[in-house]
Amino acid sequence: MTYPTAEHQPHILLIDSYCSFAYNLAALCKKAVPSSILHVIKNDSHTIYDLLPTLCQFSAIVVGPGPGSPDIFSDIGVVRDLWKVADEYMVPIFGVCLGLQSLGLEHGASLYRLDTVKHGQVSVVHHTSTDIFKGLRDVKVVRYHSLHIRLKDGGEIEELAWTEEDENGKVVMGVKHATKPFWAVQYHPESVLTDEGGLKMVENFWNLAKSWNRRNRPAFIPPPNINLPHSHIWPRVYQRHLPHISHELLDSVVFATIDVPNLSIANLCEYFGADDSPKPFVFLDSAASPGRYSILACISDSSPQITHYVNEAFIEVATGTSKQRHDLAGKGFWDWLDEYRDSRRVVGGDSRIPFWGGFIGFLSYEAGFGALNVPVRRQKGYRNVNHPDVNLVWIDRSIVIDTTCSKIWVQSLLPEDVGWVQTTLRAITNLPGELKPTPAPRGDAIIKFPDYAQYIAKIKSCKEYLFSGNSYELCLIDQTHITVPKEATISTWERYKLLRSVNAAPHGAYLRLHPTTFLSSSPERFLSYSRSPGTVCQLRPIKGTVRKLPHITREVAEEMLAGSKKEIAENLMIVDLIRHDLHNAVGENVVTKKFCGIEEYEHVWQLVSVIEGSLPDGTPVEIDDTLGWEVLRRSLPPGSMTGAPKKRSVELLQSIEGKERGPYSGVFGYWCAGGGGDWSVTIRSCFLHDSKKDGDEEWVIGAGGAITALSDPEDEWEEMKAKLNGVLRGFGASC
């Protein structure tokens, strides 16, 4: 593809080896060389013969990190051939992590496993103060590697930097080729915890590259354009699709507010049909701090419910009276939903609240596989007994409750709907304030936990993949099945009230969107985004939890969590992964607002980081308006539920776990018709399929944990059980 550019801007080729940190490296390169034009390719998208015609048009090449081993062709791809091109094609190259290992291996170095794996670990690197380390003191860096090289005595590769540590001895951290313009580092200069030496080192590489080009390519002038098929320029901006012309555009929100002291949210839900189990019902529940706004959807027979299975080429739209299939016609379901919502955009709602109407529902874990190019293989009849990957309902009428002050908004997207708004306000004021007691769970449920021996074996399998360099962190989960005998069943709404009473959460949900009943007490927000103009996307990964006890003060929790290498490493890996996902969608404007801060929740202390991203000033409103949806598309599945690198981790977990996750570890939430959205991670949740509720009910809960090189299998088993307990208590059980 040819891109128009300003004359004489340098072109840099970034080779992505399917790493979840590649766009962090792109952002670092752009910061070091602001005038550069960055072209990105995958390491298996071209052969060396594909690249040779355009290779010498680049001013430099950056070989990014990636999973696997440099001696496996499917892991390293075209990179291994770059080190051996003839002089007339030679271009300065800077390698990172896997790039350093490949450079060394192709020039006589030997490859070994570290005795102690370094994934998400901070080390001090010593160096010669020359070449890419010129002008730097010892640097504090982040490492993600289980493999390392030992250089050949008297070989072509010279050591520039190293670490010295008790567990691994001396480890090569930086190298250069003796005669060719090749430099590389083992660590990650783009990580959020690598100090300012990361930027300075890339600037040094660029100065070395320019000097080499002047000496060895004196006639070289960067071309205005480079035509390299199967590449893209970063950052990239996505254009909106045209809206569906068959849908009427609703212009303005009708709303009114009222203060209702001592409001019973349960009574409010029951007035609007929470107990009417055959009908759909949607309630997003901020039942605990730091949650604030609860959203009750007022669903009617005309409310469209939209479902999709990712192995099918159509979307179903159902109302209380009809069901239609819409052929996707070659487009993805993300684009179809974007167009659907775009045709119903509104203005004029109260800017103080985050939701005016729009989509509410859930997206499964597998709904994110398309962005990773990971296939989902399903047998015929899958939809009959499994949950949809997309299960959303379009909400025209809704009620929003500010739980901090009992203020209520009643609102409608329908034209001339003032009568319904006023009637609903009067009904709310007449609701009883007292709450009917929720009966204690009977404890008749039969619980089938994951098999202990199999789970321990899966943890060990994960660790072997970590030691071999295939992943830095694998978020392993398994399923627990709950059977409630027919004579002990209660309504699913009563079940949710039980769950809410024993495990109130800031991101709770009761979704009855057939064929799925979805109960959640999630503590973790995944992604929120504000309305345009100036949309800001915020992600808040949680890794690290300490239960509140009388002796566990904030100071004690901070010492336990922030002082734990394992907890910090888990959080760091996900922060770096999320920064990559955001850089992919928005470009350079990504900021880590908080790293591993301690936050207080109802029952626990959590280790939380906050990352934000936005498009550049001056971005057209129609692009800014859909930014949050684009970030969601490019960020699923949640990194806190996969590990890193994301694509390889998802593929490995498919094999290790042996079954699909479904709704668990996907997301649920909303996308407002006026812009903005909020999606939470589907954890601490349980699900019931319509095919499993005639007679005995069969519920499913997912739980697990992030497996790292520091994980102890017994501790991981206990952590998985601890995470189950919050939901199990809603069934009168525990483990």
Backbone angle region of 282, left / alpha / beta, with phi > 0 → left and psi within -120 to 50 → alpha: beta
> What contacts 449, CB < 8 A, 6 or more positions away?
480, 721, 724, 735
CA-CA distance, 560 to 564, in Å (whole number)?
A: 6
3-state secondary structure (DSSP) of residue 185: strand
Q: Nearest 10 degrees: CA dihedral of 394, 399, 401, 407?
A: 150
Helices (H), 19-130: 22-32, 48-55, 73-76, 79-82, 98-105
Please tell me the distance from the alpha carbon of residue 515 to that of residue 388, in angstroms, as a whole number: 8
Write down the catalytic residue from 107, 148, 188, 308: 188
- Tokens representing 108 are 């006589």
Who's near 674: CB < 8 A, 6+ residues apart?
253, 345, 346, 347, 349, 356, 357, 358, 531
Nearest to 510 by CA among 278, 277, 281, 257: 281
Q: Report d(CA 478, CA 718) in Å as an integer.
A: 13
What are the Cα distances from residue 709, in Å, to 153, 408, 565, 596?
31, 49, 11, 20
Residue 202, number of CB atoms within 10 A of its CB: 24
Beta strand 182-185 pairing with 93-96: parallel
- Catalytic site includes residue 190: yes
Structure tokens at 405: 């002050």
Given the DSSP bridges, would you call strands 473-484 and 697-707 parallel, antiparallel or unpaired? antiparallel
Which helix (DSSP H) or strand (DSSP E) does residue 206 occupy? helix 197-216
Whether 320 and 393 have beta carbons less than 8 Å apart is answered as: no
Element (H, E) at 203: helix 197-216
Position of tokens 């080390």? 123
The catalytic residue among 19, 29, 97, 462 is 97
Residues 275/276/281/287 CA torsion (nearest 10 deg): 0
Give the active site residue among 127, 145, 177, 190. Answer: 190
97 is catalytic: yes
Q: Write out the catalytic residue numbers.
A: 97, 188, 190
